A = this chain, B = another copy of it.
Amino acid sequence: MAAKTPSHTWALMLQAHAVLLEAMQARLKAADLPPLEWYDVLWALEQAPGLRLRMGALAERLLLTRFNITRLVDRLEQEGLVQRQQSKEDRRGADAVLTAKGRALRAKMWTTYRAAIEDHFNRHLDADQHAALAGMLEALLKAHGRE
């Protein structure tokens, strides 16, 4: 069952990603919480100065297309978790702004998400492994950026 070729490592990465992500999502669903995707939006906004981000910036950060962000924000807005505001600098632009309700939901989701990460991921690697893995992933990302 050991890796035989480098490409096999890539296949393992795909598999591990799929398995772990599904496990995390199942945890959220079991706790009657929204999908991870919502978490990502809420978290991106919470980190941003002024709790707000332009639609395009949000898309870039979450690696989603602009039109999908439009509709993802539509859904969050309908739940009162974010709010759209016209941008001051650019009248074409819109900011997604985090609401108090959105902030509260993010915090609630994090307790479940954090536990899932702990159980399915963190717990199975020691400190050295975490560092090594993080280093490799950063190298891959950096290499990608350069191309």
- Report copies per complex: 2
Within the complex, the shortest CB–CB distance from A59 to chain B, in Å, comes to 13
Distance of A133 from chain B, by nearest CB (Å): 6
Q: Is A9 an interface residue (CB 8 A)?
A: yes
The interface on chain A, measured as residues whose beta carbon lies within 8 A of the other chain's beta carbons, has a size of 47
Question: A9 and B134 in contact (CB under 8 A), knowing A20-B144, A140-B20, A144-B20?
Answer: yes
- A135–B13 CA distance with the chains assembled, in angstroms: 11
A131 contacts B by Cβ under 8 Å: yes
- Within A92-123, the residues touching B (CB, 8 Å) are 114, 117-123
Contacts of A135 in B (CB 8 A): 3
Q: Is A22 an interface residue (CB 8 A)?
A: yes
- On whether A12 and B138 interact (CB within 8 A), knowing A133-B133, A144-B20, the answer reads yes
Residues of B within 8 A of A22 (CB): 63
Known interface pairs A18-B63, A22-B63, A63-B18; A141-B3 also in contact (CB < 8 Å) = no
Whether A122 touches B10, Cβ cut-off 8 Å, given contacts A1-B138, A130-B3, is yes
Given known pairs A15-B63, A143-B124, the reply for A129 and B134 (CB within 8 Å) is: no
Interface, chain A (partner B; CB < 8 A): 1-3, 6-10, 12-23, 63, 114, 117-125, 129-141, 143-144, 147
